[in-house]
Amino acid sequence: MITNLSALIIIPLLFILLLLFSKDKLLIKKISLFGAIVQLIYIIFILIAYINQSHKEDFTFINSFSWFKSLNIDYITGIDGISISMLLMTSVVVLAGILVSWKIDFRVKEFFILLYLLSTGAYGFFISLDLFLMFFFLELAVIPKYLLIAIWGSGKKEYSAMKLALMLMTGSALILIGILILYFDTQLHTFNILKLTETDIPVETQRISFPLIFVGFGIFTALFPFHTWVPDGHSSAPTAASMFLAGISMKLGGYGCLRVAAFLMPEATIEYSKIIILLAVIAIFYGALATLMQKDLKYMNAYSSVSHCGFILLGIGMLNQTSINGAVIQMISHGIMTALFFASIGMIYERTHTRKIEELGGVIKSMPFIGSVFMIAGLCSLGLPGLSGFVAEMTIFIGAWQNDGIFYRISTIISCASIVITAVYILRASGKAITGPVKNSEFLKLKDATIAEKTASVLLVAVILIIGFTPFLLINLINDDTFIISQNFLKVLSSK
């Protein structure tokens, strides 16, 4: 029973039912918090059960039954090391997001229900082994994003919410077309990922389907030039929604690029790999330069997410196990780091009512905990050794450098150079807003983080430190599965 993955969908839905029948605001928050803790504990039990297996197949804990028999659509769930690590990251961000939202006072019930729907979509997406089921859960997570920004957001919230929804719907449409091409152009006429991996998908089919699916998922993970929804969406969203958007939703795209596009279509991945690398390098460097120009802390973190998510695509495009390991670690590291960043920025904005770097100053004097958390997130972003960002980026760089050829070497060097720019904008923002001179004496009267905010921050910081100091724990978890993906590429290359 403990390894029944469907419980990851059922548990949030049960708590949504409890929330629907609850009226007291404090009770709603307590139910939401308890539900998030239950999800995290359940995923930890699944992780322990997965690690303790004596023999691991490609996917394990598989549960399957026919969903729409006439269309050959199955409800099939299962996990491997990559997906269980994504589930663990999601549960941590969900718990932290609910804790940070403890002061929400407007339409509390609806707010937490939407957060739960978004997390349900993410859990379902990561455990799905049927392309149609995966698409279903991907869509389930889109509408809550729109409502969270449009109702609880700030600034140009209606514009930002609509832009985000339209861009993500466009990505979803491309994904749907791509998986339908796979469905109709293969002899089995199935969406079942396990069956598709055993099928020789025609190269011509891959050439058409791959760019549609990769770009579709790429839109979710800020693929250049389809990244423009990210700054507006993140900057207008409430704190928890920003944490969910950057920490979880953008990883749906990276996971989809790896699990669906690259895993199922290795021939096309190899053919398009240089284009993937080129777009990734542009995103990395452009995102860093754009971040350098920002004067708003939320916009700064949003543009930096474009740059950091570029590393995920770079790792996938380099096609070897080391770089793919780095891409997976970067998904998890960025998910936790950016959630911490948005949480700290939200705490600062809630107290000072400004996110402008020039208007802030001396935050650490009145709010030492919040200021310290902001700086830890920043140091993780710039790749300080001992933190998860360093492990992820160094693994990608090492993997990228393993590829011979001037194109790969130049791409790696340019990507490495972006770290210098990252250091500039992180240290500048920290120096001016956090440790600089106090520019508004009223800020000295402000209170530091609450117990709920401290708990959320400590949880996220702990994950960053665990990955930073013991990266082998995560690498050992995902290594067998990234090996399978990289071997698919080697088989294709050796046959040419």
The CA distances from residue 368 to 85, 386, 442, in Å, are 32, 22, 16
Token reading at 415:
């990507």
| Single-letter amino acid, residue 202 | P
∠ Cα 69 73 79 (to 5°): 130
Pair 139, 125: CB distance under 8 Å: no
The DSSP string of 121-177 is HHHHHHHB-BHHHHHHHHHHTHHHHHHHHHHH--SSHHHHHHHHHHHHHHHHHHHHH
Token reading at 254:
């990276």
Which of these, 203, 213, 155, lies nearest to 179 by C-alpha position?
Answer: 213
pLDDT beneath 50: ranges in the chain: none
Pair 46, 84: CB distance under 8 Å: yes
Q: What is the pLDDT of residue 1?
A: 52
* Cβ neighbours of residue 166 closer than 8 Å, sequence gap 6 or more: none
| Single-letter amino acid, residue 232 | D
* Cβ neighbours of residue 35 closer than 8 Å, sequence gap 6 or more: 11, 12, 15, 18, 116
Q: What is the pLDDT of residue 100?
A: 92
Task: Give burial (CB, 10 Å; 0-12/13-18/19+) of 55.
Answer: exposed
Pair 397, 334: CB distance under 8 Å: no
Pair 444, 309: CB distance under 8 Å: no
Cα separation, 47 vs 40, whole angstroms? 10
Cα separation, 90 vs 302, whole angstroms? 19
Q: What is the pLDDT of residue 225?
A: 87
Q: What is the pLDDT of residue 57?
A: 64
Q: Quick one: three-class SS letters along 415-475?
A: HHHHHHHHHHHHHHHHHHHHCCCCCCHHHHHCCCCCHHHHHHHHHHHHHHHHHHHCHHHHH
Q: What is the pLDDT of residue 275?
A: 94
Neighbours of 255 (CB within 10 A): 24
DSSP 8-state assignment for residue 362 = -
Q: What is the pLDDT of residue 164?
A: 87
DSSP 8-state assignment for residue 249 = I
Each residue's pLDDT tens digit, 133-190: 999 999 988 888 888 888 888 878 888 888 888 899 999 999 999 999 998 888 778 8
